[in-house]
Amino acid sequence: MAANTPVDALDVADNMGIAKGSIYRGGRSCVALGGGTAASIAADASNTFTITIDEDCVLERLVIQGAVAELEQLVVTDIKIGGDSLVSSAEVPATLFRYDSVASPFFGHPVSSDTKVTVTLANRDATNAATEVTVGFAVR
């Protein structure tokens, strides 16, 4: 048995193949939330992504994924965690939340299981075709 490895980490794994009881996750298995199917945001329209938290965790980074040119026309108009809005009246460029952004904010926001998190994006380009994006959170 490896040092510092809980006994149940050796013989119990969840459906994602991550060992339960991991010393890195304190028995939790979730490392990311959201993502999945891309949503299309039409020109001069908006879309709200809803993520339901599956287990207690800490939201670390919001990640918005899409083509760079398409992300440049998007803004984040609202982020809500359990009904609490984290965005003031100013719009935030979606490029700030790209996976490789060095300026991406760290939330460090603890959330409980079954909490609803919503992220609203608006396409500010009135002439461009629909933009395909996904939204997710890195968690710990």
61 neighbors 90 (Cβ within 8 angstroms): no
Strand partners, 110: 58
For strand 84-85 and strand 92-93, is the pairing parallel, antiparallel, or unpaired? unpaired
Q: Quickly count: other Cβ atoms within 10 Å of residue 130's Cβ.
A: 14
Q: Which domains are seen in the chain, by residue range?
A: 1-29 (no CATH), 31-139 (2.60.120)
> At a CB cut-off of 8 Å and minimum separation 6, what does 128 contact?
43, 70, 73
34 neighbors 51 (Cβ within 8 angstroms): yes
pLDDT of amino acid 16: 45
pLDDT of amino acid 127: 74
Q: Which amino acid is at 24?
A: Y
What is the DSSP-derived secondary structure letter of residue 97? G
41 neighbors 131 (Cβ within 8 angstroms): yes
pLDDT of amino acid 76: 93
Please write the tens of the pLDDT for every residue from 21-44: 455 555 555 556 666 668 888 888
Low-confidence ranges of the chain (pLDDT < 70): 1-37, 129
Q: What is the pTM of this model?
A: 0.74
- What are the strands, taking DSSP E only, across the chain? 32-34, 39-41, 46-52, 57-65, 74-81, 84-85, 92-93, 109-111, 116-123, 131-139
The owner of tokens 């009246």 is 89
